[in-house]
Amino acid sequence: MLDSRTNWAPQALALLRIVSGYLLIWHGTAKLFGIPHVAMFDNLQLMSMYGLAGIIELIVGALLIVGLFTRSAAFVGSGFGAAAYFIGHVPKGNFFLPMLNGGETAILFCFVFFYLIFAGPGCFSLDGLRNKN
């Protein structure tokens, strides 16, 4: 049964996409540009694992914010979140307790982006404008 909340689903989906992209892009700018400053990224080499992660975060985050190639960007972002968890957090231990290995954000990004692969961009996206033509 449809109710008034269902009418807002495309806007809520767009908000999820935009906010997730916004949060991801800040991870990239911290690594690549030092904004915001995170001491562990000082003297980061662009061709290091963290440097490449920053490039992915910046590109995927920007694409999600504007809603361009949303499903493809979400696919890359979801895989990236899974890789971040398994490479960066699981070695710290506590596979089933990401709160203890610092992996909550990586898992959350992974599954939010996984959802966006199937749900699409919602409204307010460049994908929506491209598909109208």
Contact yes or no for 4/14 (Cβ under 8 A): no
Rounded to whole angstroms, the Cα distance separating 75 from 5 reads: 28
pTM: 0.92
Predicted local confidence at residue 45, as pLDDT: 96
Separation CA 66–CA 63 (nearest Å): 6
The tally of domains found in the chain comes to 1
pLDDT in tens, the chain (133 residues): 567 778 899 999 999 999 999 999 999 999 999 999 999 999 999 999 999 999 999 999 999 999 999 999 999 999 999 999 999 999 999 989 999 999 999 999 999 999 999 999 999 999 999 877 5
Give CA–CA dist 124/55, Å, rounded: 25
Which residue's structure tokens are 């985050």? 61
pLDDT of residue 44: 94
Residue 2 placed within a domain: no
Cis, peptide link before residue 36, omega less than 30° from 0: yes
The per-residue pLDDT for 26 is: 98
Residue 104 lies in a domain: yes
pLDDT score for 30: 97
Nearest Cα to Cα of residue 128 among 16, 9, 25, 10: 10
Domain holding 114, by residue range, is 9-132
Is 117 domain-assigned? yes
Three-class SS state of 34 = coil
Residue 20 · residue 112 · CB < 8 Å: yes
Residue 111 is predicted with a pLDDT of 98
Q: How far apart are CA 92 and CA 85, in angstroms?
A: 10
What does the alpha-carbon distance between residue 20 and residue 58 come to, in Å, rounded to a whole number?
12
Q: Which tokens belong to 81? A: 């979140």
